[in-house]
Structure 1
Amino acid sequence: MNRNIDTIFFDVGATLRYVVEDAEFSAAADRELMEIVGATESHDVFFEKLNKNWKAYRKLAKTVLLDVSEMELWLQYLLPDYPAEVIAPNAAHLTRLWRDHDGRRVPHDDVKPTLLELKRRGYKLGIIANTITETEIPDWMCHDQVADCFQTVILSSKVRLRKPDPAIYLLASRCIGSVPENCAYVGDNPVRDVEGAVDAGYGSMILYEDAGTADREGKIPTVKPDYRIKAIRELLDLFPAREGK
C-alpha cells in the first residue's frame, strides 16, 4: 500500500450497503408513491411507465456523466406528464420511495467498526457516490452513528458531476484538503469506480467484491484496481495506523 495515503473515499451502494428484498416494504412504498402523485393507472401500468422513464434517464446520465436534482429528475424525466404543483414539493420524498421500490438498504456488518477504526488510525474519510437522492446517505450516516467519520460527502445529485468523470474525484479531494495522489478510493464497480479514480490520479484504488470481467452494463474494464477485497474489514490490513496517530 502507498504509505503516503492519508485519505480514503468510499462508494456507498453495494460497497458500504446492499439491498435486501422485502416485498411488504416495497409494496408500501409503491402505494404511497402512487397516492402522492395521484396515479390513476393500475400499479403495473404505472410502474412499467416509471421504470421505462427511469431507464431512459439512466442511459442519458451515464452518457453525459451528469446527474440532475431530484426536482428536475421527476419533473423532466420520471413523471413529466404529472402536475408540477404536485410533483415539485414532493420530489425528495418521491425519490426515497422510488429507491424503496427495490427493497431495504442495509449496511454490511463490518462497515461501522471498520470506519471507526480507520478514523482512529488517523485517516480522513469521505464519500463519493452516484445517487439520485440528496438525503438517503446523510440519513443513514446519522442513523448508524457514522456521520462523524466522514469529513466530506460528495453526491452526484448535489454536485451534478457523475462517476467516472475524474472531476467528481478531484472535487472530493479538494473539499477534504488532500492531494489526489494521497487519496484512495473503495468501490464495487470494476469499470466506473476504477477508471474514475485512476484518471483522477488517486494514489490507490481498492475494488470491493470483484464483479467479474465486466460491470453491470457489460462494459469491459480497461484498467485494473490496485487491490481487491471481499469484505470491508480487509481494509484494516491495507491501512495501518498513520505515524503519530
Structure 2
Amino acid sequence: MTANIQTIFFDVGNTLRIVLPDQEFIDRAEAGLMELIGTTESHDALFAKLEERWKAYRKQSKTTLLDASEGELWTQYMLPEYDPNMIFANAPKLTRLWRDHDGRRVARPDAVATIKELHRRGYTLGIIANTVTETEIPDWMAADGVAQCFKTTILSSKVRLRKPDPDIYHLACRCIGTPEANCAYVGDNPVRDVEGTQAAGFGMMIRIDEPDTLNKEKATGKEFTPDHVITSLSELLDIFPERA
C-alpha cells in the first residue's frame, strides 16, 4: 500500500502543532481581546460568556459538519450584541486572540524536519484542518519555513465543510490532483480523523497518539481503526520511503 501513496495530507492541531501552557501569553491575548472590542464587561463575565457561546457553536458545527467564516463566527455567534461592522472588520484579530487564550501553539519538535524530508522524498503534501482561523496556519507555515512544502491547504473556515464529512477530503484531492486511493492522512483524532479519511476512500490513515486529544474525545460508540498509530512524526519516515 505504501508504494501507491503519492500525497500525504496532515491535520494541524495536536498533529503538527501542540498547545503549550503559558499564562503570560494567555493574559496578553485576553487583555488584547478586551481592548480590541472596547468592552465594559469584567474579564470573568466576558470570558464566561464567550466560553458558553463557543461551546454552543462547536456543538452546532460538529452536528451540521459546517463551519462559519471568521466574520460570521464573531458577528453571529460570539459577540452579536456588539457593533457588527466593528466586529466584522476585526474578526481575524479576534480569532487569533481567542485562539491564543488557550495557550501558545508551537510545532512538534520533529515536525519541520519530517515535513521537509517527506517533501524531499517526492511526496506531495497538503493540509486538511478543522479551524476557525483563516490566517494562523498559513502564517505558521511561512514562519517555520515549510510553506513551499505544501501544495494545498484546506481550512474548514474557508471552505465551510468540516471533517469528518468526506466532501472536504474529496475537495482536497481535487485541488491537489491525486486520487483518494493514492492519498494518506495523518491526524490525531481517533474518531473524526479516522472516520472521515476512511469514508472518503483514502489509501491510508495514520493516527498520531496524542494524550491531550484522547482525554478530550468523548466515547461515541464508534470504533475506527487506523492503518498505523505513531507517537512521533519522525516515524512517518519509516512508513514512507523515498519515491522512485
- TM-score calculated relative to the size of structure 2: 0.97
CA distance in 2, matches of 1:132, 1:121: 32
1:53-104 Cα offsets, whole Å, 9 max, x none, are 0000000000000001000000000011111122011000000000000010
Q: Say which SS state the counterpart of residue 41 (structure 1) adopts.
A: coil
Instruction: Report how far residue 223 of structure 1 moved.
Output: 1.9
1:69·1:160 contact (CA, 8 Å) conserved in 2? yes
CA distance in 2, matches of 1:127, 1:11: 6
1:214·1:220 contact (CA, 8 Å) conserved in 2? no
Give the letter for the 2:231 counterpart. Answer: K
Instruction: Report how far residue 213 of structure 1 moved.
Output: 7.5
Q: Does residue 23 in structure 1 map to residue 27 in structure 2? A: no
1:214·1:221 contact (CA, 8 Å) conserved in 2? no
Give the letter for the 1:125 counterpart. Answer: L
Tell me which residue corresponds to 2:91: 91
* Structure 1: runs of 5+ lacking an equivalent: none
Residues 215 and 22 of structure 1: CA distance in aligned 2, closer, same or farther (over 3 Å): closer
CA distance in 2, matches of 1:189, 1:218: 12
Tell me which residue corresponds to 1:150: 150
1:175-218 Cα offsets, whole Å, 9 max, x none, are 00000000000000000100000000000000001659886133
Tell me which residue corresponds to 1:177: 177
CA distance in 2, matches of 1:134, 1:186: 21
CA distance in 2, matches of 1:230, 1:72: 37
- Give runs of ≥4 in structure 1 deviating > 4 Å: 210-215
Instruction: Report how far residue 3 of structure 1 moved.
Output: 1.4
Q: Does residue 231 in structure 1 map to residue 232 in structure 2? A: yes
Q: Say which SS state the counterpart of residue 158 (structure 1) adopts.
A: helix
Q: Say which SS state the counterpart of residue 152 (structure 1) adopts.
A: strand
- The count of corresponding residues between Structure 1 and Structure 2 is 243
Tell me which residue corresponds to 2:186: 186
1:93-150 Cα offsets, whole Å, 9 max, x none, are 0000000000100001101111111011110000000000000000000000000010
Q: Say which SS state the counterpart of residue 102 (structure 2) adopts.
A: coil
CA distance in 1, matches of 2:230, 2:159: 29
Tell me which residue corresponds to 2:80: 80
Q: How does 1:151-166 map to 2 (within 5 A)?
A: 151-166=151-166
Tell me which residue corresponds to 1:62: 62
2:164·2:196 contact (CA, 8 Å) conserved in 1? yes
* Structure 2: runs of 5+ lacking an equivalent: none
CA distance in 1, matches of 2:78, 2:195: 29
1:19-48 Cα offsets, whole Å, 9 max, x none, are 001111111111110111111111001000
CA distance in 1, matches of 2:210, 2:58: 23
- TM-score calculated relative to the size of structure 1: 0.96
Judge which range, 219-228 or 96-105, deviates more. 219-228
